[in-house]
Every structure is written in C-alpha cells, then in structure tokens.
Amino acid sequence: MIISSDFDSGNIIFLRERNGQDIDLEIRKDSNSDFFQWFYFKASELEPGTEYSFHITNAGKSSYPEGWKIQNIPFSEDGKNWKRVKSHFQNGILSFSLKPIGESAEFAYFVPYQLDRHKKLIETAKGSSLFHNHIKGKSADNRDLDLIHLCNGKEAKKKVWILARQHPGESMAEWFMEGLIERLVSKSDSGIELFKEAELFLIPNINPDGSYLGNLRSNARGANLNREWDRADPERSPEVLFALQQMDEYGVDICLDIHGDEDIPYVFGSGAEGNPGFNEKLAEIDSTFRSNWQEINPDFQMEFGYDRDDPGKADLSLCTNQVSQRYNCFALTIEMPFTDNHNDPDEEFGWSPEKSMKLGRSSVDAILSILPMI
C-alpha cells in the first residue's frame, strides 16, 4: 500500500501503517501559515475487496475542527467519478474506511479542481465569440493569474466581477466558475440579455499557488488573500494587488466573491452591510439579489449564514467589503458547503461539483434580475 500526495493540489503526510489495514495520516500546514484542513491523496497498491481504514490524526487541531462532525469524505476509484464515504470524528481523529473495487483510490476534502482543468476552462472562455481579452497577472510564485474579460463587442455600462478561490482549498468555488462560464459562452437567452447591459470580468482562480500547493486558505507566502484587500502588497499578496489594479482601471458595479464554508451546511451570501458607505440603495439591491436567487435556485437560501456586521463595523480587508466601499457598488461573498446542503441532503454525493456548477449557472439569472437597479 502506497500513499502519495506529490501532485497538483496534493496534501497529506503518511505516518504509519498498522496491521496492513489501518493507515495513520496527518494534514500538512499551509505554506508559511498555520492553517490546515485541505487534504488530497491517493492510496495505491491496495488489495481489492480488503477494507482499509484511514485516520487523520491531527484533524482535531485543524482550522475548523467542528466541520469534521458533519463531513463525509469525497473519494474516487477512477479519478473521475466522486462519491462520499462515511466519516467519523472522535477524540480529534477523523476516520473513514473503504473496501476498494480496484487497486487504488483517492480521497480529498472536496473534489479537486486542478490546473489542467483550469487551463481547459480558460480555453473554453477564449473560444467564445464573447471573449474580449485575457489579462494575465502573476502569483507570488510566478504562476499565471488569469482574468477573462467577456463582452459583446460594444462597451456596456455595467461591469460585473466574479472571482473565486481566494481560499484555494475551496475548490467548489472553481466548479461554480465552470458552470457560470459554460452558461455564459453557450449564448443562452439570459446570457445574451446580460451582455446587452454588462461586461464580465472573471477570475476563476485568484490563488493558483495555494491551489497547486494543496493549501486551505493561504497563498505561497502564507497570506490569507481575503484579509489583504486594504493592504495588498506586491511581495505578500500580488494576486489581490493585480485584481484591485484591474478593478481600478475598468470599474466595478457588481462583485461576487465565491467561497466554501467548513461549518455551515447551506449555501448563503454574506454582504457589505457593516461598511461605512453602505446605504439604502445597496441594501435594496442586496436583498433583491438574494431573494431572486433563492427563487431561481433554492440551493441558495437566506435563513442560515454568518451574523450580519453591525453598521460601521465591517472589516475592510475582506474583498466584498473593500470592493463595495471603494467602488460604492453591490458586492457579495457566496458560501457553499463542503459537506452537504441540509435543505436537500444527498448521502451519496453530498454538496458536489454538479451542484456547484448549477449554482454558478443560475447566478447568471440572479445577476440579470438586478441589472435594472444598478
């Protein structure tokens, strides 16, 4: 039996094997940071039909230990189709077992979204007649940071920004972007309507280093990018600096920042209501967007989520708050569950890439519905 994680998005430390069937593992910390929770590894040279139990022995010390209580683990035996295996969290150890059909299996905190798929996504966007420009930034480790500008050729008044994976372990955010981009380039009716009024600026993965390195929340320098928007730095957080420079150049009327949440088993939004510049108009756009989206796709809901910020108490280092304040625009953080949507539970797949993509597709209609208010 061999455990490996030396590949794109991989993260695990092999500790020991007991009785040939119990495997003790640890999650490695993010680069230059104490965060850890994301893992992704492959087990190979397995005996088909034998039950193996995997134990992540430092799960209780991870960044969001409460999340393990509701988390069943995504696994795949062919690298393509992912299901969930029951997991148990006891005495700080996360355990799950599998009787493999074949000789290998892989396990991850969420279904990974790797660089080769990212590259295909960028090519899909570039192949569209709506493609206008591919603006390349650079990450701290000099990886490409892709910004795709889509428009119908005529300059539109409204600039819509959607970015994902500030927290690289939240791979559902890039599955969301894939659904969104496919919908946009398919020239659906609402897609065509949208481009009459708006241009889109899309950053499907704003943290390519952290994604490749198998981090949960940090970039290669250990920065939590979603705490850098009031202090973006060319050494520490060039990814955020790049996004802000481009936003300054083109302007922002709507911004969605796509995430996953470890603890809350629902899809929800988190707004800029604590900003000093938050006003009645922004509040009305915010609540209209949320209730319309809920009607369009009930996976999005408004009952569960984070506590709302008190007026004037917003943390302006967060993307949503900084962007809303800086451009006096509507901005919203979108959170999807790692585990499942408890309004529509699915024991076999949990919250999945398919549901993330569906949410991404449906966001087009929700954005379209508020354009007259912008």
Active site residues per annotation: 335
374, 285 in Cβ contact below 8 A? Answer: yes
Rounded Cα–Cα distance for residues 170 and 176 (Å)? 11
Q: Which of 55, 183, 259, 355: binder of Zn ion (CB under 5 A)?
A: 259
Binding mask 200-239 for Zn ion (x = CB under 5 A): ----------------------------------------
One DSSP character per residue, 57-108 reads TTGGGSS-GGGGGG-PEEEESSSS-EEEE-EEEETTEEEEEE--SSS-EEEE
In the complex with Zn ion, the residue whose CB is nearer, 299 or 365, is 299
In the complex with Zn ion, the residue whose CB is nearer, 190 or 218, is 218
362, 270 in Cβ contact below 8 A? Answer: no
Residue count at the site for Zn ion (CB under 5 A)? 3
In the complex with Zn ion, the residue whose CB is nearer, 191 or 305, is 305
Q: Residue 256: name the closest of 335, 176, 332 by CA.
A: 332
**Closest approach of Zn ion to the CB of residue 120, in Å:** 24
Buried b (16+ CB within 10 A) or exposed e, 253-275: bbbbbbbbbbbbbbbbbbbbbbb
In the complex with Zn ion, the residue whose CB is nearer, 106 or 309, is 309
**Closest approach of Zn ion to the CB of residue 216, in Å:** 9
Q: Which stretch binds Zn ion (CB under 5 A): 58-66, 153-161, 185-193, 253-261?
A: 253-261
131, 150 in Cβ contact below 8 A? Answer: yes
In the complex with Zn ion, the residue whose CB is nearer, 171 or 190, is 171
Rounded Cα–Cα distance for residues 1 and 45 (Å)? 5
**Closest approach of Zn ion to the CB of residue 170, in Å:** 5
In the complex with Zn ion, the residue whose CB is nearer, 167 or 326, is 167
Q: Tell how many helices (H) and how many strands (E) occur in the chain.
A: 8, 17
**Closest approach of Zn ion to the CB of residue 320, in Å:** 11
**Closest approach of Zn ion to the CB of residue 292, in Å:** 24
**Closest approach of Zn ion to the CB of residue 143, in Å:** 19
- Phi and psi, residue 274, nearest 5°: -90, 0
In the complex with Zn ion, the residue whose CB is nearer, 158 or 259, is 259
**Closest approach of Zn ion to the CB of residue 257, in Å:** 8
Q: Which stretch binds Zn ion (CB under 5 A): 70-78, 86-94, 198-206, 251-259?
A: 251-259
Q: Which stretch binds Zn ion (CB under 5 A): 145-153, 234-242, 256-264, 338-346?
A: 256-264
Rounded Cα–Cα distance for residues 116 and 208 (Å)? 12
Q: Which stretch binds Zn ion (CB under 5 A): 31-39, 243-251, 257-265, 297-305?
A: 257-265
Buried b (16+ CB within 10 A) or exposed e, 85-98: eebebeeeebbbeb
One DSSP character per residue, 41-56 reads EEEES--TT--EEEEE
Q: What is the dihedral of CA 360, 365, 367, 369, to 10 degrees?
A: -160
Q: Restricting to residues 154-173, which ones interact with Zn ion according to CB under 5 A?
A: 167, 170
Binding mask 113-152 for Zn ion (x = CB under 5 A): ----------------------------------------
Which stretches of the chain bind Zn ion, using CB under 5 A? 167, 170, 259
